[in-house]
Amino acid sequence: MEKLPTTSESIPTDGLFRRSSWSRFVESQIQNVMLLCASLSILTTVGIVFVLLNESVYNVTGGTAFFQEISPWKFLTGTKWHWDSGDFGVWPLLTSTLQVALIGGLVSIPLGLASAVYLSEYATPRTRRIIKPTLELLAGIPTVVYGYFALIFITPYVLRPLFGLVGLEVGVFNGLSAGIVVGIMIIPMVASLSEDAIRAVPQSLREAAYALGSNRFDVSARVVVPAAFSGIMAACLLAISRAIGETMAVVIAGGQNTSGLSVNPLREVFTMTSYIVNVSSSDVEAGSLEYKSLYAVALTLFCMTLTMNILSQWIMRRFRETYQ
C-alpha cells in the first residue's frame, strides 16, 4: 500500500498548526475548572445526603445512628416529642410544619395567582413595569424581618383584635401569624412562576376566547388559567415546599412549643425547622441522642421538600399541553 504523506509535508502554511502545547493545556484546564464549579453544588448535595443518612439511618464512620437506637416506626408514628423522656415521635413537629405550610399556601396561592393573572392579562405594560419589580422586591426582604413583622405587628394588631371579636385568645407565638408571613413571603414565587406559565399560553387561545364573546375575566378564568394549569400547579408545589423549609420567620413568630400534638393555629407551634434551630443553638452534646435526632428530623424535612420538588416537575411534564 502506498504511504500517505504526513501532515507536515502536505500542509506547508505555519499559521494552520496548533498553538504551543502550553496554551492547549491552559485551555483544557479552564474547561476542567468550570466543570468543577458546576459539580460543586452536586457534590455538596451528595455530601449533605451522606451526612444525613450517616447520622440518622446507618452510621459508617463509627458510632450509632439515630434509627439504630430509636425505631423508625416509633419515630414516624409517635405523637410525643420529649427528648428528656426519650419520646421521639415526629408528629408534633410534622403537624406544626404542615400547619404553617398550609396556612402559607392558603395565603400565597390565591394572592399569587391573582397577581399573576393581573400582571399578564389585565395590567398595561406600564403598570406591569412598576408592579412586577415591586413584587419581586418582597423576595429580597430577609426572612428575619418577616418573623418580627408577624410577632410585633400581625399578632398584636391584626389577629388579636380580630379573634378577640369572637372571644378567642391568640398566643404571643402562634402558627397562624407564622403561616401568614410565610405566605406573604412566597407570593412573589407563586406569582412569578405562575405568570411564566400563563404567558406561555398561546395568544391565539386568548383571541379565540375573545372572539366567542368572552370578557376579560372569562378569558382569564375559563381559558388561560386552565391552559396554564400544570405550570401553576408546579409553581404552587414549589412554593409550598419552600414554606415547609422556611425557618427564621417560623422560629420567631411560631414559637417553640414542646407540649405535644396541637393543630390549633392560634397556639404556639414547633416546626421541624424550629426544632433544628432550637437544638443547634442549645448546648447539646455532639453524639448524644438529641444531637442525632436533628439529623433524623432534617432527613424527614429533606424527603418532604424533595418529594414536592420532584412532584412539581413531574406535573409540569406530565400535564403540559402542547400547542403547535
CA distances from 63 to 39, 73, 288 (A): 30, 21, 10
Binding range to another protein, per CB under 8 A, among 18-26, 111-119, 210-218, 291-299: 210-218
Cα(11)–Cα(146) distance, integer angstroms? 70
The span of 102-110, 207-215, 259-267, 298-306 binding another protein (CB under 8 A) equals 207-215
Q: State the number of binding residues for another protein (CB under 8 A).
A: 22
209 part of the interface to another protein, by CB under 8 A: yes
**Near another protein by CB under 8 A: residue from 11, 76, 106, 208:** 208
The residue (of 74 and 216) whose beta carbon lies closer to another protein is 216
- Closer to another protein by CB, 185 or 315: give it: 315
**Residues 121 to 150 in contact with another protein, rule: CB under 8 A:** 125
From 98-106, 161-169, 209-217, 272-280, give the range in contact with another protein by CB under 8 A.
209-217
Q: Which stretch binds another protein (CB under 8 A): 7-15, 76-84, 88-96, 203-211?
A: 203-211
| Of 48, 276, 252, residue with least CA distance to 152 | 252
Kindly list the residues in this chain that would bind another protein in the complex (CB under 8 A). Answer: 125, 202, 204-215, 218, 222-223, 226-227, 321-322, 324
